[in-house]
Structures are given as structure tokens and as C-alpha cells.
């Protein structure tokens, strides 16, 4: 007697169901993806708290004691030692001016020069004040204060003496303008302000001398 097939049992079987080996392969792949994508929260915390330093970090600026020479606006390098030497040169010009104004104020003769002769006495006192200011700056920088004046020209001509003063003032102004740039290149801004104050007096002297000579002040 032939056996009848239970069609109800066959209907429960899913067509094209994957075998066991395929199911294991799929599970392994899922596990692998899950493992590689997992983030270690402890490692993430460490990275946030202690970030790794970048290799292109900025270099430490040099110590002021080992700093390279500074540059003026004209591009010339200047050191503190050179500034001290230059200020001593300025001081020598101030000594020169003091002596010249003392001598010329008393040696100038002639009614037309009496007014300027009195002005030269005032100039002598102002140049002494300038010399003290410059000496203080030299001492501040740690330098040795100079004692020698530049040579003083003499003449029997009142006009020549006034011209000597005019030429000296023009030279002084040029040098002090350069000194202002040098001070600022080294960051000595207070010192540059002291020299600017001196410049105001020197330019007044230049104008008064030019007026006494009956000429226009030279353009510097």
C-alpha cells in the first residue's frame, strides 16, 4: 500500500533557505564589522584630555640677552653697544655746543648781533640740559659716559661764528633724528621721547641762527 505524502508538512518548509555554513559566514562578517567599528571610550577620553602635540609647534623666541641686532627703519642693524657709542658721540657734540655758545655769546661784537648774542647765552644753558639728559641715557644703558667735546671752531668774524653754530645745529639734528629710530628699533621708546624733546630745542636754535644770518633755515 503506497504511503501518502503529508502536503501540510511540506508547505511549512521555506524555499531557498540558506544552509548552516552560509549562516555561520554571515554571523562572522557581522561580528567583524561590529568589532572594527567599535570606539574605545577610554582612548577617546585620553585623546581629548591629553592631545598629542603637533610637530610644527612654534619655536621659543630667543632670550633678550641673546637677541639678534634690531633693525632701524632704514634697514641698518643696531645693538645696545652701538647705541651707547652713538649717544656718546651726541654727548661730545653737546659739549662742543656748550663751549661754542659760551664763547660766541661773549665774543660776538656789533650792534646788529646783540640780540642773538643774548640768545646764545640761553642756548648754552639748554645745551647743558641736553648733555645731562644724554648722559643719563648712556648710564641707563650701562655705558661709560664720555668726557671729550668735539673741536670748537673760532673766528674774529661774528658772521662766521654764527655760521659755525648753524652748521653744528644742522649736524646735531640729523644725528638725533637717526638716534630716535635706533632707540625705537631696540624698543627704547621712552629714550626716543627724551631725544625728541631735545630735537625741539635744536630746531628752534637752528631757526634763530638762520634768522640772525638773514637766511632761510636749511632743509634737513
Q: Which residues, in sequence order, are CB contacts of 123 under 8 Å at separation 6+? A: 97, 101, 105, 165, 205
pLDDT-derived band at 70 (thresholds 50, 70, 90) equals low
Give the up-direction half-sphere exposure of residue 143: CA atoms within 13 A in the CB hemisphere: 21
**Surface-to-core class of residue 53, CB atoms within 10 Å of its CB (0-12 exposed, 13-18 middle, 19+ buried):** exposed
Which pairs with CB-CB distance under 8 Å and at least 24 residues apart come from 129-134? 130/94, 130/97, 130/198, 130/201, 130/202, 131/91, 131/94, 131/95, 131/98, 133/194, 133/197, 133/198, 134/87, 134/90, 134/91, 134/94, 134/198
| φ, ψ (nearest 5 deg) of residue 71 | -115, 140
* Torsion sign, CA atoms 149, 153, 157, 160: negative
- 40-63 per-position pLDDT tens digit: 554 444 455 444 444 444 444 444
pLDDT band, residue 76 (cuts 50/70/90): low
Total residues belonging to the chain: 220
Average pLDDT over residues 127-150: 98
pLDDT at 108 over 70: yes
Domains and CATH numbers, the chain: 78-213 (1.20.1260.10)
Rounded CA-CA distance 137/30 in Å is 81
Residue 95 has what pLDDT? 98
Cβ atoms of 86 and 76 within 8 Å: the answer is: no
pLDDT for 211 beyond 50? yes
Q: What is the pLDDT of residues 149-159, one digit of tens each?
A: 999 999 999 99
Amino acid at each position: 500500500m503506497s504511503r501518502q505524502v503529508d502536503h501540510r508538512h511540506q508547505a511549512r518548509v521555506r524555499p531557498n533557505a540558506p544552509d548552516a555554513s552560509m549562516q555561520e559566514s554571515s554571523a562572522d562578517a557581522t561580528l567583524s564589522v561590529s568589532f572594527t567599528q567599535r570606539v574605545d571610550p577610554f582612548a577617546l577620553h585620553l585623546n581629548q584630555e591629553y592631545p598629542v602635540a603637533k610637530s610644527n609647534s612654534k619655536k621659543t623666541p630667543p632670550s633678550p640677552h641673546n637677541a639678534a641686532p634690531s633693525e632701524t627703519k632704514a634697514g641698518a642693524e643696531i645693538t645696545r653697544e652701538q647705541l651707547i657709542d652713538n649717544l656718546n658721540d651726541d654727548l661730545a657734540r653737546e659739549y662742543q655746543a656748550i663751549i661754542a655758545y659760551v664763547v660766541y655769546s661773549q665774543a660776538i661784537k656789533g650792534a646788529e648781533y646783540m640780540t642773538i648774542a643774548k640768545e646764545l647765552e640761553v642756548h648754552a644753558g639748554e645745551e647743558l640740559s641736553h648733555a645731562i639728559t644724554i648722559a643719563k641715557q648712556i648710564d641707563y644703558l650701562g655705558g661709560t659716559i664720555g668726557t671729550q667735546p668735539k673741536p670748537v671752531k673760532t673766528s674774529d668774524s661774528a658772521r662766521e661764528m654764527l655760521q659755525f653754530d648753524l652748521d653744528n645745529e644742522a649736524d646735531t639734528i640729523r644725528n638725533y633724528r637717526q638716534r630716535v629710530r635706533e632707540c625705537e628699533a631696540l624698543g627704547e621708546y621712552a629714550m626716543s621721547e627724551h631725544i625728541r624733546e631735545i630735537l625741539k630745542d635744536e630746531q628752534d636754535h637752528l631757526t634763530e641762527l638762520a634768522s640772525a644770518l638773514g637766511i632761510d633755515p636749511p632743509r634737513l
